[in-house]
Structure 1
Amino acid sequence: MTVSIRDAARPFTGGALTALLSPATRLLGLGEPTHGVEAFLELRNELFRHLVEYEGYRSIILESDCLSALAADAYITDGIGTLDDAMSLGFGHHLGASPANRELLRWMRAYNEQRPPRERLHFYGFDGPLEMTGPAGPRPALTALHDYLAAHLDLAWSRETLDALLGPDQRWTNPAATTDPTQSVGRTPEARELRLIADDLRALLTAHTPHLTAATSPDDRWRADLYARTAAGLLRYHAGMADTAATRVGTLMCLRDAMMADNLDAIIDREARRGPTLAFAHNRHLQKDKSRWLLPEGWGPLAGRTLEWWSAGAIVGTRLGDQYAFAATTFGTRGSDVPQPDTLEGLLSALPDARAVIDPVRLTAVLDRKPTPRVPADHTYLPLDPATTGQTDAIVFVKEI
């Protein structure tokens, strides 16, 4: 069987991966099976350089705070601030500590320095301002949207009105609300009023598009729409935080990926005339099939429950069709965690290359049985489901991390 599997695999290169994709691809999602492993980020950097230099890609999107990413993009495109500033201000989820992320920004800035604006690379985040301790407050996004509109329109709400409804930021960022919905302010009368205002402001942004397009720059107009999406998404998420139903955590997963999908849509539209885009995130946020997560110990009464939700990739893939491609990454051995021989990762570990690209169609054709699902050694790793590998366009395998 190993010889047949070898027929479905090639040593990893950017060209070997893109050879498996539709030429119509506008968005390529590269997933990682776990966070915090530099090998996957280094592989991403290598792929992105190939995509830029040989495939016409001009942007990259990370699973990071969409608002913070503006600081990283300003450094990359226009040299605003320093690399240290971009690393400290331009990422969420503590991703600014990653050497591979630092190398990514350094390379993108060097690439852009001698190029005109229309050819420069752009950097985006597509996650909401959400951390493990809870979501950020809506103040930065909502007030930025208000200020943009107030400079050109007569609004029914003042900044003082917004500040009074928002109250202290600590009300919104209380970490106790992560596990206790009664600690959340997401369904207070003030929060409900703010959701209505955010919706009305976004409607004004759309209704006055001709005037705002003529009066402001395309970049300012795009950022205003980002603020509108983020304010509405955060207020919706805070309302979900206050939900006392047993389905609360699953609802929050759905809301997060819906926010991610909206951001992907907006970025793809913005980049449409410049070239395709690479998105990098966890496999569960980019896969085309339904995402599942078995909650581990430590989740109290929810431990052992399986959450299901549609990923941002599945949502956007429905809209884009063959213009969306997904490459799932997985690995073989990590320390004492060695895959069983009858699992997908165990079978792929017999390949001779340290990194390989596998054609899922050919792999399925040569296997005489479905591999046994891998049981992860810890909850930070979510293995590929062998039953759904046919819904991936490519599999990237790293033998050891």
Structure 2
Amino acid sequence: MATDIEDIEGIEGIGDTARPVHAAALMRLLPLRPRLLALGEPTHGEETLLHLRNELFRRLVEEHGYRTIAIESDCMRGLSVDDHVTSGTGTLDEAVEHGISHGWGAFPANRELVRWMRQFNHGRPASDRLRFAGFDGPLEITAAASPREALRALHDHLSPRVETDLLPCTAETLDRLLGADDRWTEPAAMLDPSRSVGRSADAGRLRLIADDLAALLDAQAPHLIASTSREEWDRARLYARTATGLLRYHDAMADTSPARLTRLVSVRDQMMADNLLALAARGPVLVHAHNAHLQRAKSSMTMGGRPLGWWSAGALAGVRLGADYAFVATALGTLRHHGVDAPPPDTLEGLLYRLPGPHRLVDPRRLAAALGDTPPAIRTSPWFGYAPFDPAHLADSDGLVFVRDVPGDGR
């Protein structure tokens, strides 16, 4: 029999942990301040969830020393947003339009986040400024970017600073091997591996060159950091991670085996994880992305009629960071403008829907213990863009944010 909400509230400790979503309450759920605090969302593009993220980040900055936010957006494009919030480079309009991918720069809450970060940084020393990062690869649902930008940026960083004989090739050779960018960004390659350039002879040569350039960057680190800065070297390492990751992704696009789609989603999350680990090395970070990219449990989805399973960026980073990684999932009650009405009472969302207040923070492990061996049913969604929370993942989460109703006019 499913557990009623009255039973949950009556169990010692559960009612006490169903609090409004505040940074202080969240931190009390954690054994320490994690270097990567991951806030998941079950759907993209809802202003209610983005505003909640913004408010949580403000409090984490003001009360707990966080100085970086990373979102599920192109890591290369995100550099221009970081330049804007740290140094005032460009305008706010330019930063959100060109620096946030997937069209998400158009969301008012993302614009407000960048505006507030720039305002916070004004007049502060560089060591105390807020930083912005995209941690996704330069990938869209239908295509992957050409590796040109990342490879050329990495080569351009190295070529004036190391002996010419140490470089694996010239810039001209890079351009010749890359060819036209549109052969890399061919949309048809997502469904037809024969249209991908990822396993051509040129691509194979570029993978070796990218690996050699990345190794040279690490081997020359003392000299490169002394001649520029740690900041410039870190940025060049981002170029290296992106170049090698993109070339792996293009190789997977050309794969004709049944594992092709699993390889694609796995490579993407590996790129995300590598970026998150690099960000965590410089200080505590709030990460915001889909629950499926951040959860500790193995992620799954159906694509092209085939079930896929892979380890998320959060799972990969979490095994490296241990207690320095924390995952806070978000679940929601209604998303009526997408046909998601009040949740069935026998689901986890249905139980939480009867809690008071617009949004609550719950201790998921205590909730899992309270539910015992009879967890609620898994909710099903009538809309593909919303993924309900799996109650089996409660014990793998460090916090659970429940948003009761997400209005459709939030933008």
Q: TM-score, normalised by structure 1?
A: 0.95
Amino acid at match of 1:349: Y
Counterpart check, 1:69 vs 2:58:
no
> Which of 199, 224, 233 matches 1:212?
224
CA–CA distance in 2 between the matches of 1:24 and 1:31?
17
Shift of 1:209: 1.1
State the secondary structure of the residue aligned to 1:10: coil
Counterpart check, 1:314 vs 2:329:
no
2:367 — aligned with what? 363
Conserved in 1, the CA contact under 8 Å of 2:168 and 2:212?
no
1:159-196 deviation per Cα after TM superposition (whole angstroms, max 9, x unaligned): 11011100000100011101111000000000000000
Counterpart check, 1:345 vs 2:349:
yes
Counterpart check, 1:96 vs 2:105:
yes
Amino acid at match of 2:376: P
List aligned pairs for 1:108-187, cutoff 5 A: 108-153=117-162, 154=164, 155-187=167-199
CA–CA distance in 2 between the matches of 1:228 and 1:9?
44
2:332 — aligned with what? 331
2:38 — aligned with what? 29
> Which of 273, 281, 284 matches 2:289?
281
Conserved in 2, the CA contact under 8 Å of 1:22 and 1:323?
no
Shift of 1:24: 4.1
Shift of 1:216: 1.1
Shift of 1:366: 2.5
CA–CA distance in 2 between the matches of 1:157 and 1:79?
36
State the secondary structure of the residue aligned to 1:193: helix
Stretches of structure 2 that go unaligned for 5 or more consecutive residues are: 10-14, 407-411
CA–CA distance in 1 between the matches of 2:403 and 2:346?
17
Amino acid at match of 1:281: A
Amino acid at match of 2:309: E
CA–CA distance in 1 between the matches of 2:307 and 2:211?
33
Counterpart check, 1:2 vs 2:5:
yes
Amino acid at match of 1:347: L
Amino acid at match of 2:369: A
2:302 — aligned with what? 294
Conserved in 1, the CA contact under 8 Å of 2:168 and 2:213?
no
Counterpart check, 1:229 vs 2:245:
no
Conserved in 2, the CA contact under 8 Å of 1:8 and 1:363?
no
Conserved in 1, the CA contact under 8 Å of 2:27 and 2:33?
no
Conserved in 2, the CA contact under 8 Å of 1:128 and 1:234?
yes
1:389 — aligned with what? 394
Stretches of structure 1 that go unaligned for 5 or more consecutive residues are: none
State the secondary structure of the residue aligned to 1:31: strand
Conserved in 1, the CA contact under 8 Å of 2:168 and 2:209?
no
Amino acid at match of 1:118: S
1:258 — aligned with what? 270
List aligned pairs for 1:45-84, cutoff 5 A: 45-84=54-93
1:92-121 deviation per Cα after TM superposition (whole angstroms, max 9, x unaligned): 111111100000000000000021110000
State the secondary structure of the residue aligned to 2:203: helix
Q: Which runs of 4+ in 1 moved over 2 A?
A: 1-8, 365-369
1:173-227 deviation per Cα after TM superposition (whole angstroms, max 9, x unaligned): 0111011110000000000000000000111111111111111122211111110
